[in-house]
Amino acid sequence: MTLHVVIPEESAALPFRVEPSGAQVASKEIPERIHHILAGLLDGGAVAAALGADSLARAERLVGAVHDKELLDHLRHGVPEGAESVLDSAFSAPGLEQETPVTRGVWPAALGAAAAAVRAAELTARDGENSYALVRPPGHHAGPGWYGGYCFVNNAVVAARTLQEEGVARAGILDVDYHLGNGTLALVQGDPTLPFASVHSSDPKDFPYTFEPGPGLFGVRSDPAQEDFLALVADALAHLRREGAAALVVSVGYDVLAGDPHGSWSLAPEVFGPVAALIAEQRLPTVFVQEGGYGIPSLRGAARALALEAS
């Protein structure tokens, strides 16, 4: 088994976020994090794969099917003439303040990330090999008509829809990011062909701040020990199997690790070895899609641990 890594063209599309006071704060969603993750994946035996000739066109079509036209028009054309960015609360997730600006480089970066997710899903569906869409910006906080939390287009759902177009009846989505993928949840609710499970912090101090219970949602109020975290991942996978998942899309968030500036847990990078082993035990075609993970010192080791089990 070979783990194929698809990487979009590098972008500097997220230079800052905006706090409630209006202050601009340097973003932690930076190109350097992808460099470290890629190094770890290659250390673990993964190989790089190129975009396909029609990846961008297919991604644009699928993004148009996943998200509302008004949102996509805003991402394409929302920055006023003479400005470098815009912060528009009309496209905030329900109940949240907008803190993620749209800059001039956002649309090509978001579309490029979606194209990498498309290509990774194609490789998995057609060749039976695992794949990893090493994308930025991430996507699991992007909902039908909103963006936020560094996310503009939902790459995991785009990957799942690609798998379905390639013949997978039910594509399960497993989210192991520190934060609940509220955008993914909203996009798949009511669709039995896209079962969803998430292991995440349900501390009300953590984004997206409000957490309603539901099937497949395995929230943790406090810092879990490794064995507890892995037990929840196993429970989440069991839920997806009960729902008939024939392939997996895994939203990977390394922000569950100790020292991450957007998390508060103390898991070691090596935890992603047994996480990947649990996923491999399902013997299902798997597409990994990058979400969070902003603690630079931990990223290479975590990615290597995952790749060693997924390759």
Residue 80 has what pLDDT?
93
pLDDT over 80 (residue 20): no
CB 3 within 8 A of CB 311: yes
Q: Which two tokens stand for residue 277?
A: 């082993």
Tens of pLDDT, residue by residue over 84-141, are: 999 999 999 999 999 999 998 999 999 999 999 999 999 999 998 999 999 999 999 9
Local confidence band at 16 (pLDDT 50, 70, 90 cut-offs): confident
The amino acid that residue 187 corresponds to is L
Average pLDDT over residues 206-228: 95
Residue 277 has what pLDDT?
98
The mean pLDDT of the chain is 96
Residue 172 has what pLDDT?
98
pLDDT over 90 (residue 54): yes
Catalytic annotation, residues = 141
In angstroms, rounded to a whole number, what is the distance separating the alpha carbons of residues 16 and 99?
9
Average pLDDT over residues 213-225: 96
Residue 202 has what pLDDT?
97
Tens of pLDDT, residue by residue over 258-284, are: 999 999 999 999 999 999 999 999 999
Q: Which two tokens stand for residue 75?
A: 């991402």
Local confidence band at 14 (pLDDT 50, 70, 90 cut-offs): confident
Q: Which two tokens stand for residue 107?
A: 């649309």
Q: What is the DSSP letter of 111?
A: H
Average pLDDT over residues 50-75: 97
Task: Give percent above pLDDT 90 in the chain.
Answer: 91
Residue 22 has what pLDDT?
80
Local confidence band at 9 (pLDDT 50, 70, 90 cut-offs): confident
Torsional sign, CA 68, 70, 74, 76:
positive
Residue 13 has what pLDDT?
74
Q: Which two tokens stand for residue 103?
A: 């800059």
Helix (H, G, I), strand (E, B) or coil at 309: helix
Instruction: Count other C-beta atoms under 10 Å from residue 160's C-beta.
Output: 34
φ, ψ (nearest 5 deg) of residue 188: -105, -10
Average pLDDT over residues 250-255: 98
